[in-house]
Amino acid sequence: MAADVNNVTESYLIAAKYGMRHVMDTLIELIRDNFIVVSQTKQFLELPVDLMELFLSDTFVNVGDELDVFAAALRWVDYNKQERLSQSGGIRPKVEEYLAHSQSGFRPNRSTSDVVCTHKRLAAKTNVENVCIKISGIDMSAAFDAINRNKILTILEDILEEDELKLVRFLLCNTTIETRINKADIQASFNSNIGTPQGDGLSPALFTIYLEHALRKTRTVIGDPTTKLGELIPREIAFADDVDLIGSQYIDIDAVEKALKEFDLISKEETEWRKTNKVGSLMGDTKDVERREQLSNVALYKLKNVWISKDKIKREIKIKLYKSLVKSIIICNCGTWALTQTEANKLDTFHRKQLRNILDIHYPNLISNKSIY
């Protein structure tokens, strides 16, 4: 499927170059048909959210603008190219070996649940043992855009093979950025020589390697724990660019800032201390469940045109979309919850209500709780 879209997109570029209008029209329809096929496969559920939204937009549900279809095709081609590199057997094991155990972002079998669970255990330890644990949270806003490409390539020289390094160097060179405001046609592209291109499978790996290299220096600056409690607790908890530095004594924030500035990861304008939330989760289970329900309702409403469509979108596809884009919000970090039976029953009731809405089952039509699952 990926190869089909890639080939058709390349053919479209050639046809556009020579002004072959009738060929371009045919190829656009082929691209659209291929995308519709993807939306009905398992591969669809593995796509980034922005690509999922493209599939659900009027561009593909109805007859969309040709430029929008072609832009989506280019986005798809770029996604597949980057994903193949980041998932290759040669790179991923090396990235895993380089990263510290404290980093939970963009890693297989790791998630925000690791971060939330660790914070809850630390909170429980302070309550039960009446000890003081100091946490300094740092949110490095726009950190992906701050990466020094020369430095990341230098770091990768000790991690990757020569051929892999050449591929990364090729992907980072000659990158351009275009400004787009709604659907206005603004031809104002400009070259970019900092940061990593976002929206692909390689950028997260590059960023986590870059951040790990910087954190290794901060660990040296902070020094080893000097108390027994400090030796028993983790020194840091990280998920992508959200990092919490932990200790039994106060941490020299100024020294940490100085170390991170050397890697262009921190600035007075874009970096905030002590305002980092715990990767979107509240520490209180009941409050966190309530917030998850509110956020899922917002996501459900945004896709209302999908739910009310009876003929164009099959029920099976609606269920897959619900599980991917709505239910995933409800159960985010649910493995860290300790709910009472009453709270669990309320959550089940909320879930069934959403299922009835997307399946258009309302009174006087009835369905049992068992059947709706």
Query: Could you give the CA distance from residue 157 to residue 364 in angstroms, rounded to a whole number?
Result: 67
Give the residue among 159, 265, 266, 258 at the shortest CA–CA distance from 207.
Answer: 265
Residue 261's pLDDT is what? Answer: 82
- Per-residue pLDDT of 87-142, as tens digits, reads 545 678 888 999 999 999 888 888 888 988 898 888 888 888 888 888 888 767 66
- 343: region left, alpha or beta (phi > 0 left; psi from -120 to 50 alpha): alpha
At 192, list the tokens. 């970019």
pTM comes to 0.62
Rg for the chain, CA atoms, rounded = 24
Q: Which two tokens stand for residue 294?
A: 């509110």
**Which residues lie below 8 Å from residue 67, measured CB to CB, with a gap of 6+?**
none
Average pLDDT of the chain is: 76
Predicted pLDDT of residue 209: 93
CA dihedral sign of residues 66, 69, 75, 76: negative
pLDDT for res 63: 47
The closest of 137, 143, 141 to 251, measured between CA atoms, is 137
Intervals of the chain under pLDDT 50:
1-3, 59-61, 63-64, 88, 273-276
What does the pLDDT read at residue 274? 42
For the segment 265-280, what is each residue's pLDDT rounded down to a tens digit? 776 555 554 444 566 6
Written as six digits, the tokens of 176 are: 């351009």
Q: Where are the alpha helices (DSSP H) in 39-111?
A: 49-56, 58-61, 66-87, 92-98
CA 43 to chain centre: 17
Domain boundaries, the chain: 1-87, 91-280, 285-372
Give the residues across from 192 on adjacent strands: 175
Cβ partners under 8 Å of residue 44, min gap 6: 38, 52, 55, 320
Contacts of 253 (CB under 8 A, 6+ apart): 136, 273
Residues in CB range of 124: below 8 A, 6 or more apart: none
The answer for residues whose C-beta is within 8 angstroms of residue 47's C-beta and 6 or more apart is 55, 79
pLDDT at 170: 77
The pLDDT of residue 89: 54
